[in-house]
Structure 1
Amino acid sequence: MSLSLANGSELYLHETASQTAGPYLHIGMMPAAAGIETRRRQPGNVLVQPATRGERIRIEGIVYDGAGAAVKDALIEIWQADADGCHAHPADRRCSDADPAFTGFGRAVSDFQSGLWHFETVKPGAVTGRQGRPMAPHVSVLVFARGINVALQTRLYFDDEAAANAADPVLGLIEIASRRDTLLARRSVQDGQVVYRFDIHLQGERETVFFDV
Structure 2
Amino acid sequence: MMQELGYLKESASQTAGPYVHIGCMPSYVGLDGVYPENLGRTMLGEGVKGQQITIEGQVVDGTGTPLKDAMVEIWQADAAGLYNSPSERRGQADPAFSGWGRQATDADSGLFTFETIKPGAVPWTDGRMQAPHISFWIVARGINLGLNTRLYFEDEAEANDADPLLARIEHRNRVKTLIAKKTDAGYRFDIHLQGPDETVFFDL
Deviations 1:143-182 (A, max 9, x none): 0100011100000000100000000000000122221000
How far residue 34 of structure 1 moved from its aligned partner, in angstroms, is 1.2
Q: Give the CA RMSD over aligned residues.
A: 1.5
- Partner Cα distance (1:126, 1:14) in 2: 48
- State how many pairs are aligned: 201
TM-score, scaled relative to structure 1 = 0.90
What is residue 55 of structure 1 aligned with on the other side? 51
User: Percent identity, aligned pairs only?
Assistant: 54
How far residue 24 of structure 1 moved from its aligned partner, in angstroms, is 1.3
**Aligned letter for 2:83?**
H
What is residue 7 of structure 1 aligned with on the other side? none
Equivalences for residues 27-42 of structure 1 within 5 A? 27-41=22-36, 42=38
Question: 135, 145, 150: which is aligned to 1:150?
Answer: 145
Residues 1:202 and 2:190 are matched in the alignment: no
- Partner Cα distance (1:77, 1:35) in 2: 20
SS state of the match for residue 79, structure 2?
coil
- Partner Cα distance (1:206, 1:135) in 2: 24
TM-score, scaled relative to structure 2 = 0.93
How far residue 19 of structure 1 moved from its aligned partner, in angstroms, is 1.1
Structure with a larger share of its residues in strand = 1
How far residue 40 of structure 1 moved from its aligned partner, in angstroms, is 3.0
Mean alpha-carbon deviation: is it higher for 13-22 or for 199-208? 13-22
Asked whether the 8 Å contact 1:60–1:196 carries over to 2, the reply is: yes
Residues 1:13 and 2:8 are matched in the alignment: yes
What is residue 115 of structure 2 aligned with on the other side? 120
- Partner Cα distance (1:149, 1:23) in 2: 13
Mean alpha-carbon deviation: is it higher for 172-181 or for 110-119? 172-181
SS state of the match for residue 21, structure 2?
helix
Asked whether the 8 Å contact 2:122–2:132 carries over to 1, the reply is: yes
- Partner Cα distance (2:32, 2:66) in 1: 27
Asked whether the 8 Å contact 2:17–2:140 carries over to 1, the reply is: yes
Deviations 1:88-145 (A, max 9, x none): 1121111x23111001000000100100001000000111222211000000000010
Residues 1:188 and 2:188 are matched in the alignment: no
**Aligned letter for 2:77?**
A
Determine which structure has more spread, i.e. the larger CA radius of gyration.
1
- Partner Cα distance (1:211, 1:68) in 2: 21
- Partner Cα distance (1:113, 1:188) in 2: 22
Structure 1 gap segments, 5+ residues each: 5-9
Question: 76, 81, 85: which is aligned to 1:85?
Answer: 81
Residues 1:179 and 2:179 are matched in the alignment: no
How far residue 11 of structure 1 moved from its aligned partner, in angstroms, is 7.5
Structure 2 gap segments, 5+ residues each: none
- Partner Cα distance (1:39, 1:31) in 2: 7
**Aligned letter for 2:89?**
R
Asked whether the 8 Å contact 2:27–2:34 carries over to 1, the reply is: no
What is residue 72 of structure 1 aligned with on the other side? 68
What is residue 131 of structure 2 aligned with on the other side? 136
Q: 1:47 to 1:179 in 2, by over 3 A?
A: same
- Partner Cα distance (1:74, 1:212) in 2: 20
- Partner Cα distance (1:18, 1:185) in 2: 33
